[in-house]
Structures are given as C-alpha cells and as structure tokens.
Chains A and B, each alone.
Chain A
Amino acid sequence: NAGVTQTPKFQVLKTGQSMTLQCAQDMNHEYMSWYRQDPGMGLRLIHYSVGAGITDQGEVPNGYNVSRSTTEDFPLRLLSAAPSQTSVYFCASSYSVQSPLHFGNGTRLTVT
C-alpha cells in the first residue's frame, strides 16, 4: 500500500499565483486533513473532512480551499499565494475520528 501520497514534493510560487496541492490515500480512510508545519511551531490544522462531500475549517483556514468529491482525494487549493503561506504542508488521514493520523511526506512550498 502507498498510504498517503502528496504531490508535488516541492513548489515555488510567485505572490498572487494559485495552485493545488494534491493528496490521495489508498486505505479507504474516511477522515482526511491538511496541516502546515512552520519552524519552531507545532503542526496547525488548516481544513479537514470527515467523509466525501463534507469539509470544515481548522484553526488556520484563511487563503485555502478544499473539496472532497471522493473518499481517496483531498486537494488543497491556494487561491492567491502570499509569502506567509511559505511552509511545509502535510496531508493526513485516519480510519475514523478516533484513530491515529497517518501522514504523507509533505509538500515544501515557497512563495516569493
């Protein structure tokens, strides 16, 4: 099993550009989420989904959109990139809301 797959691994954007970070899982997990990791800080929740067609905001949702049309995929869209969005982004999934999270290997995003 591949687990949680994130693409791309690295991305450089100019301020104002938009892009989509891809996340796919092959474990039939209902719960998926996006976190960002910044130096000296803990991972922070951006958006999450408890199943296909259902999404909700985490603690730092501004500037990001998500959708969940299938169980497997949970893309994260940056609408208009800003330097403050320079970070490492992790997608995670779990079998249920009580299960441990399984993380992908991240996308390192730089906004200039």
Chain B
Amino acid sequence: EDQVTQSPEALRLQEGESSSLNCSYTVSGLRGLFWYRQDPGKGPEFLFTLYSAGEEKEKERLKATLTKKESFLHITAPKPEDSATYLCAVRDNMEYGNKLVFGAGTILRVKS
C-alpha cells in the first residue's frame, strides 16, 4: 500500500531562517511526486512535480529534490508570506487514473 509521511508536522521559522521539509514515501512504482501549498480556507495550489531520483525543481525561495525514498522541500530565507501548509503527494504507476496519495502536510509559520 502506498504511504506518504511528512515531517515535521509543524515548523516555526524566523524570517530569513532557512530550513527543509521532509516527505518520505513508499510506492510500488513512482509516476510522480508532487508538492502543493495550501493556505487556510483554500484548496491546494500546485508547486512542483518530480519524476526521478536526482531531479530538482526551483521556484523563488523553494527548491524541491527527490531521492528513491524521500523528497525535500528546501526553503531559503523564508518570508512571512511563505506561511502555509505544504502537502506532498505521490502517484503510483499501478493505480488507474490520476489518483494521488497525500501526506498529512507540514504547517509552516514564518515570523517577521
């Protein structure tokens, strides 16, 4: 059974204090690992897709990396507007359709 575990559950940072979020996964055959950002009262907003170990994607202060067992979302010099819940999800090549298996998320708070 596919599993996605995110850590930590919550993270509090000072503005400018860089850190990383972890996403560990177990799938029979990875067809994509996805990172989403979710603001309170909103739906998840797509950030990145990673497909193979060693792949990296960047967007502003965010950088996502992928290994065979986990993914990291690195946040460099965060700002208060980066505060949100970050969700990780995987798509298994054994599943029909575009089903994503999600982790429970990491709640990030950045204080100025």
Contact = CB atoms under 8 A, between A and B. Distances in A.
B89 interface: yes
Contacts of B45: 103
A75 interface: no
Contact of B102 (A33, A43, A97, A104): A43
- Contact count band on B: 20 to 34
Contacts of A106: 41-43
A56 B41 contact: no
B44 A90 contact: yes
B42 A94 contact: no
Nearest to B34: A100
A101 interface: yes
B99 interface: yes
B97 interface: yes
A31 B97 contact: yes
Interface string B87-106: 10100000011111111110
A81 interface: no
A59 B45 CA distance: 22
Q: Ordered nearest first, which 6 A-B pairs have the shortest CB separation? A: A42-B102, A103-B43, A43-B102, A97-B98, A100-B46, A105-B43
Interface of A: 4, 31, 33, 35, 40-45, 48, 50, 56, 58-59, 90, 92, 94, 96-106
21 contacts: A42-B87, A42-B101, A42-B102, A42-B103, A42-B104, A43-B89, A44-B102, A90-B43, A90-B44, A92-B43, A94-B98, A97-B97, A97-B98, A100-B46, A100-B49, A101-B98, A102-B46, A103-B44, A105-B41, A105-B42, A106-B41
